[in-house]
Amino acid sequence: MNKLLAIVFPGQASQRVGMLKTMAAHYSLVEETFSEVSEVLGYDIWKLVQYGPFTELNKTYRAQPAILTASVAVWRIWKQQGGCMPKLMAGHSLGEYSALVCAGGMDLCSGVRLVMIRGMLMQEVVPHGRGAMSVIIGLHDDVVFEFCKAAQQDQIVSLAGFNAPGHVVISGHKEAVDRVNLFCKNAGAKHIFSLPISVPAHCALMKPMAKKFRKELEKITIYTPSIPVLNSTDVCIEQEPRAIRRALIRQLYTPVRWREVMQYCIHRKIKKFLEMGPGKILTGLIRSTVNNEFSLSVNDPVSLSEAMKINWN
């Protein structure tokens, strides 16, 4: 274990057609991992990931297994190549499932089934096109919070993620989200953009699915992780399986506290972060939150080689 290192895993919105293509060309573990998952899902997920269409990959119940599988594949290669073990793991929303699988808290097949069902239940409670999520950059949390209250009008919209200073996510009914976006634009927000997500996660609209999802969670075996996993629901490390289940249920309808996750790591002297999985979203957020700490996204042979050469002392 390296006391300076945390490994983190991205959530939904990091998916893209062609992800891990160059990694697969060098390491057979990529396609082997995707093949393992395809048997569980009943379709060729590697084909979907490589050739799309993006409209299909973007569907929540397909995007979530794809991102989880990609993240696990990178972790498996890291271990195969002799990469050092981290002090802890963490994941952004869906990425928490990737962290639990990689830390031995659940097996890959169980994790994939779970996030596929999670995505289906999410879409079931809020039909496609009825909900939305967007990122607001450049305004204080309290300002966006007040805009959410003002924009509700018998609908739901709320803060769904605290990613970095001045970088929040809102979630809810599409019309209400659009109203908040307009308020934020008029207030001088630097950037506002919609997330490529077909459901409004981490808000009260997800509460009706909690009971059904709890039943699905009870069907799988959860183990005490061999590597501590820091959750973003309570910003704490749970080791007991029942506590892990409860946190995963609350995660459905409560905000992602990623900024606090990073602060937790810094307070515990973690100096280096590796993001494993598609994209570089978390690497950017880490650099916006903490100063003078090393962060790198690992998802191709070049970045893997760079990570392997790091002096971890």
Q: Do 164 and 289 form a contact (C-beta atoms < 8 A)?
A: yes
Q: Write out the two tokens for 8.
A: 């983190």
Which pLDDT value is given to residue 285? 93
DSSP state for residue 171 in the 8-state scheme: E
pLDDT tens digits, 277-291: 999 999 999 988 887
**What is the reported pLDDT for 179?**
98
Catalytic member of 38, 202, 295, 303: 202
- Write the secondary structure of 246-300 as one string of H (helix), E (strand) and C (coil): HHHHHHCCCCECHHHHHHHHHHCCCCEEEEECCCCHHHHHHHHHCCCCEEEEECC
Q: What is the pLDDT along the chain (313 residues), one digit of tens a residue?
A: 788 999 999 998 899 999 999 999 999 999 999 999 999 999 999 999 999 999 999 998 999 999 999 999 999 999 999 999 999 999 999 999 999 999 999 999 999 999 999 999 999 999 888 999 999 999 999 999 999 999 999 999 999 999 999 999 999 999 999 999 999 999 999 999 999 887 999 999 999 999 999 999 999 999 999 999 999 999 999 999 999 999 999 999 999 999 999 999 999 999 999 999 999 999 999 988 887 778 999 999 999 999 999 876 6
Q: Is 202 a catalytic residue?
A: yes
User: What pLDDT was estimated at residue 16?
Assistant: 94
| Structure confidence at residue 289 (pLDDT) | 87
CB 48 within 8 A of CB 57: yes
- Cβ neighbours of 155 (radius 10 Å): 14
What pLDDT is recorded for position 73?
A: 98
Phi, psi of 132 (to 5 degrees): -160, 160
Marked catalytic residue, from 38, 71, 93, 110: 93
Given a contact cutoff of 8 angstroms between Cβ atoms, the answer to whether 235 and 255 are in contact is no
Query: Is-above-0.75 flag for pTM?
Result: yes
Residues listed for the chain? 313
